[in-house]
Amino acid sequence: MTPHDANGLDIDAALAAMTLEEKASLSLGSDFWHTAAVERVGVPSVMLADGPHGLRKQPEGGDHVGLGGSVPATCFPTAAALGSSWDADLVRRVGEALGRDARVERVSVLLGPGINIKRSPLCGRNFEYLSEDPLLSGVLGAAMVDGVQSQGIGTSLKHYAANNQETDRLRVSADVDERPLREIYLAGFEHVVTRAQPWTVMCAYNRVNGTYASQHRWLLTAVLRDEWGFRGLVVSDWGAVADRVAALAAGLDLEMPPNLGVSDAALVAAVRSGELDEAALDTSVRRVLELVARAQPALADPGEVDVEAHHDLARQAARESAVLLKNEGVALPLSLGAGQTLAVVGEMARTPRYQGAGSSQVVPTRLDAALHQLEALVPDGVTVRFAPGHELGSAEPDDALVAEAVQAVRGADAVVVLLGLPAEEESEGFDRTHMDLPADQTALLAAVAEAATAPVVVVLSNGSAVRVSDWEHHADALLECWLPGQAGGGAIADLLLGLASPSGRLAETLPLRLEDNPSYLSFPGDSGHVRYGEGVFVGYRGYDARDQAVSYPFGHGLSYTTFAYGGLALEVLGSVEAGDLRVVVRCTVANTGERSGAEVVQVYVRDPECSVARPVRELKGFVKARLAPGESALVDVELDQRAFAYWSTTVHGWVVEGGAFEIVVGSSSRDLRLTGTVDITAPTRRAPISTTSTLEEWLADPAARAALASLFADQAGQVGGFLAEGDLVKVIGNFPMDRLAAFPGFGLDRATLDRLAAGLRQH
Ligand code: BGC
């Protein structure tokens, strides 16, 4: 896009021709979903709409909080489900479909993906987020952005940053140390921005370390633009702006929805008074104009949507996202023949729970219920018996419904029970207070399991993780489907009947109980602050560091077939010194069973010795390999330098400490199949030596050590003074040098220390 011919909009000319008031008007929307137009200079408005798993375009003149009805659109599986697919190619295709849905409706920016880290299972919006791991969130987030944007439609990467809870979300300060902020909470955003350049980034509602994300200069400009090279526009979350002038100065380009007559007037007044440099306003307005220009080709050619094809894709995506947690006695797939009976229990079999509530709620083009899909797909001559078993939204067991369900499963040849979280328990706007299924549902399961003679298969529909440890003994098989979108019912039928093999993997750990979660003691905070006390030990990083038993580990998921791993080969390319280190991890994976299936080969890196506390192992690469029975494939995963680095709070940068690193290839974070070691050479990066560095730090630095040694050399050239006394050096090693220099008779006075330190600085 050249500035003078930006899809029919001459950005330079428009900017030069606009009055201050017109420019101010462009830095906020004109209504809930549109940017402002400036007709006098030929600037049209464009529309933004939610996001992220389906288009939520409100008809003209929608309600005042933006949460009312919307035009029908394909409701794809929610992010909790898509995250469990571990399939970037699939997510890209879903993104393309979302882009087409937006394009045909003349929506220019889809407000997603949401890639905040699932810090706690209680976060009310976990269904809208991908994972507890930043690499998985980043890779799938980038795929979604690529897919949507390939259709000429923009995305909004959200919510930047550290928006990991709903409690007090418009004010709470997420107090996060520098290292977890970089390694866990920003890493996914960095990945998406640097690899996929979303058209827009949406700032979060909350404060980060005391400052509103909407006016956080370090986040919005220093990191996002100066470090990561973001070239798009920053939009506020809806209502996130507390001070429009401060927000603009920090790098927030577009306020949504607009605080009309207030924010624009404040910007004009601030420029007039000299408080705000007009150049800063121009920069933001230019970004709005660039967005408007980018949107024009799709608006001129909205294309068409094949609603059926999108529904089929939604079904495939739901299938790929379901996680088979357990399958004792090969309860699945169901094998049924003529004359046999399948008992289906649970209200969710006919009233699907398929998406979450709040700004992402889509009006689906169609909705498939598992019950009807099973009825349609079971072999001829199979009878399907249904009993709802409970009432949605009631926690008290209904004896009559339970008795009916017990009757339905008696003598049945297969028993499927659909359970899940009721819609009112998880939504944008509030967090959960526990992670249990409703008591009436677990009581129903216990009763049904006692009466059943066939294996009991439980199918779960929930957007955030539920505790399974206290009831899963009633289930022989457990299929976690998350909130699988409008075609989830068909996907459930496909998987239960073996028309496809499950291939999803957990994108978050299922703990034995909520109290085990690393954030438990500091979620959701109080008095306006939430302290991210677990540091980098989020999710599996925390469970593994404490070697805690869990119900199902990160990365876990079974298949109807089995896989064998072999032939691990590691190749080190480039170097840390040159900044281009890469390690190619190669292995073979073979389908050793009798059905087609897909294995997610996961590569974890472990740094056994490091000067900072690091997680036991961290996911650094993965590949989903689809294999026919007997087929094997060579899998290649390339790790870059970052895969070995931690964020150093002394040098304020990424540091790879040289030495041996373990590369572990696994089928989950706790099912490790192959291990190898690479030796990595890296220059030592230490904070510069100063007068307040400790004796230990001086001795660890070759130049500083030499300076001290020559100062304390006796006539024979031997090290003398206190340096000769090894035990003493050990005891006083953690003293800063300026304190030691103040000790009477120490042999090193302050002036000498200053001279040595100055010499080292010039070094
Ligand atoms: C949500 C965003 C959403 C926006 C517009 C906000 O309340 O946090 O995710 O895109 O509303 O609906």
For a mutational test of ligand 1's pocket, the pick from 31, 33, 50, i.e. the residue with the most ligand atoms closer than 8 A to its C-beta, is 50
Whether residue 1 is predicted with pLDDT greater than 70 in this model: the reply is no
pLDDT of 335-357, one tens digit each?
999 999 999 999 999 999 999 98
Q: Using a 6 Å cutoff on CB, does residue 29 contact ligand 1?
A: no
Query: 237 catalytic, yes or no?
Result: yes
pLDDT at residue 61, rounded to an integer: 66
CA 46 to ligand 1 center in whole angstroms: 17
Mean pLDDT along residues 199-213: 98
Whether residue 672 is predicted with pLDDT greater than 90 in this model: the reply is yes
The 3-class secondary structure across 399-457, one letter per residue, is: HHHHHHHHHHHCCCCEEEEEEECCHHHCECCECCCCCCCCHHHHHHHHHHHHHCCCCEE
Q: How far apart are CA 100 and CA 297, in angstroms?
A: 13
Could you give the 3-state DSSP secondary structure of residue 715?
coil
The closest of 380, 413, 416 to 493, measured between CA atoms, is: 416
pLDDT of 556-599, one tens digit each?
999 999 999 999 999 999 999 999 999 999 999 999 999 999 99
CA 202 to ligand 1 center in whole angstroms: 9
CA 464 to ligand 1 center in whole angstroms: 19
**pLDDT class for 2, splitting at 50, 70, 90?**
very low
**pLDDT class for 657, splitting at 50, 70, 90?**
very high
* Atom number, ligand 1, closest to the C-alpha of residue 50: 10
* Atom number, ligand 1, closest to the C-alpha of residue 51: 10
Instruction: Output the average pLDDT for the chain.
Output: 96
CA 51 to ligand 1 center in whole angstroms: 9
Claim: this prediction has a pTM higher than 0.85 = yes
Whether residue 3 is predicted with pLDDT greater than 90 in this model: the reply is no
* Atom number, ligand 1, closest to the C-alpha of residue 128: 9
pLDDT at residue 685, rounded to an integer: 77
Q: Which residue has the higher pLDDT, 223 or 720?
A: 223
Could you give the 3-state DSSP secondary structure of residue 603?
strand
pLDDT at residue 64, rounded to an integer: 60
pLDDT of 35-45, one tens digit each?
999 999 999 99
Q: Using a 6 Å cutoff on CB, does residue 237 contact ligand 1?
A: yes
pLDDT of 457-471, one tens digit each?
999 999 999 999 999
pLDDT at residue 62, rounded to an integer: 62
Whether residue 11 is predicted with pLDDT greater than 70 in this model: the reply is yes
Unique residue bearing structure tokens 């870059």: 640
What is the share, in percent, of the chain residues with pLDDT greater than 70?
A: 98
DSSP 283-340: HHHHHHHHHHHHHHHHHH------HHHHHHHHHHHHHHH-EEEEEGGG--S----TT-
**pLDDT class for 716, splitting at 50, 70, 90?**
confident
How many helices (H) and strands (E) would you count in the chain? 22, 26
Whether residue 365 is predicted with pLDDT greater than 80 in this model: the reply is yes
Q: Which residue has the higher pLDDT, 433 or 64?
A: 433
pLDDT at residue 63, rounded to an integer: 65
What is the share, in percent, of the chain residues with pLDDT greater than 90?
A: 91
Could you give the 3-state DSSP secondary structure of residue 200?
strand
Whether residue 688 is predicted with pLDDT greater than 90 in this model: the reply is no
The closest of 422, 433, 435, 369 to 394, measured between CA atoms, is: 422
DSSP 133-174: SHHHHHHHHHHHHHHHHTTT-EEEEEEETT----TTTTT-EE
Whether residue 4 is predicted with pLDDT greater than 60 in this model: the reply is no
Q: Using a 6 Å cutoff on CB, does residue 111 contact ligand 1?
A: yes
Whether residue 34 is predicted with pLDDT greater than 80 in this model: the reply is yes
pLDDT at residue 763, rounded to an integer: 66
Ligand 1, atom 11, residue with closest C-alpha: 238
Mean pLDDT along residues 392-406: 93
pLDDT at residue 745, rounded to an integer: 85
pLDDT at residue 201, rounded to an integer: 99
pLDDT of 424-439, one tens digit each?
999 999 999 999 999 9
Ligand 1, atom 6, residue with closest C-alpha: 238
Q: How far apart are CA 238 and CA 68, in angstroms?
A: 15
Q: Using a 6 Å cutoff on CB, does residue 51 contact ligand 1?
A: yes
For residues 49, 284, 193, 290, the Cα torsion angle rounded to the nearest 10 degrees is 70
Q: Using a 6 Å cutoff on CB, does residue 160 contact ligand 1?
A: no
CA 237 to ligand 1 center in whole angstroms: 6
pLDDT of 591-622, one tens digit each?
999 999 999 999 999 999 999 999 999 999 99
Ligand 1, atom 3, residue with closest C-alpha: 359
